[in-house]
Amino acid sequence: MSEPLFWLGLSILFVTASLTAVLVAAIPALQELARAARSAEKFFDTLSRELPPTLEAIRMTGVEITDLTDDVSEGVRSASQVVKQVDQSLTSAKQQAQNIQVGTRSLFVGAKAAWKTFTRTKTPRRNLERLPLTSKETLNLRERENFRQYIRNSQLDGQWNEEGHLEEDE
């Protein structure tokens, strides 16, 4: 067994048998790999045909959503302006109602005062006899004020209190 040629031939035989076994085992794997390559090629062809229209449809959907968002924003702004106008109208109507209320109240108070004026009993004016200047007595300042107050009290149709002030009817 010391023959080197024998050993060389035997090792070549083992290497050939091993390569044959690997080749026999690799043939079905290579066939599956070729089938997968064909399937991938068909998939890429389908993608190249279908993907651009799909991407265009997605882009158009995004544009439409943007347009709808703008329309909704404009509608919200318009509704906000309408609400502000309604609020201003309500404020204006409230102010006008208050003005009408004040005007009506003033009208009723005026009508009530006019009615009281027209329906009150009129007191006849007193004619004070005038004395000639020589026969008049001299009045001091306090007496003159009391006399003037008496004249005022007799001319007005109101009730006077003890201090000489007019008490209003309510």
Give me the DSSP letters along 69-122: HHHHHHHHHHHHHHHHHHHHHHHHHHHHHHHHHHHHHHHHHHHHHHHHHHHSPP
- The predicted pLDDT at position 170 comes to 44
Task: Answer yes or no: is pLDDT of 2 > 50.
Answer: yes
pLDDT in tens, 138-165: 667 888 788 788 777 766 545 545 555 5
- The predicted pLDDT at position 126 comes to 56
| Pairwise CA distance, residues 110 & 98, whole Å | 18
Our measurement of the distance from residue 83's CA atom to the centroid of its chain's CA atoms, rounded to an integer in Å, reads: 7
Mean pLDDT to the nearest integer, 12-38: 95
pLDDT in tens, 32-90: 999 999 999 999 999 999 989 999 999 999 999 999 999 999 999 999 999 999 999 99
Supply the pTM of this predicted model: 0.38
| Pairwise CA distance, residues 42 & 46, whole Å | 6
Among 153, 170, 56, 69, CA closest to 112: 170
Among 130, 128, 123, CA closest to 153: 123
| Pairwise CA distance, residues 29 & 27, whole Å | 5
Gyration radius from the chain CA atoms: 61
- The predicted pLDDT at position 67 comes to 94
- The predicted pLDDT at position 109 comes to 86
